[in-house]
A = this chain, B = another copy of it.
Amino acid sequence: MLRLNHLAIVVEDIQQALVFWQDALGLPLGKVERNAEEEVEIAFLPLESGEIELLAPTNSTSGVAKYLAKRGAGLHHVCLEVPDLAAAMQRLRDHGIELINDTPKVNAEGVRYCFIHPKSAFGVLVELYELPRSS
């Protein structure tokens, strides 16, 4: 079985959204950080397994900013952990599934990841993570 790594939610303003998620609903706040590459501010709200990530664009031109302008705030993507990203990507391609990036990307924490195109996933933006072996 796969593990949920995170469920990402787009918001206009992190602090406003935390009034609901943290103060009213009672989720703990892990940290808030800026991600320069994705041009977003991210608040991490850990769940018992996995976490909720609130994403707010830091400019008006990023992918997340355009999504927010077009679709409004709400659920954005789901990220699942796989043991072998290259194998998972090959299996998806073998089934005719379109990937947004054809080769794995690697983030600052050494996580290898890719996105599956929503049109191949019935409207859902799905991200896959392969965590570094040392973690």
Known: A75-B124, A120-B20, A123-B72. A49 touches B4 (CB 8 A): yes
Interface residues of A, count at CB 8 A: 48
Which of A2, A16, A50, A77 has its CB near the most chain B CB atoms (within 10 A)? A2
What 0/1 pattern do residues 21 to 45 of A give for CB contact below 8 A with B?
Answer: 0011111100000000000000000
How many chain copies?
A: 2
* Residues in B neighbouring A95, C-beta threshold 8 A: 19-20, 23-24
Q: How far is the CA of A25 from the CA of B25 in the complex (A)?
A: 32
Q: Is the CB of A92 within 8 A of B47?
A: no
A78 close to B (CB within 8 Å)? yes
* Residues in B neighbouring A23, C-beta threshold 8 A: 95
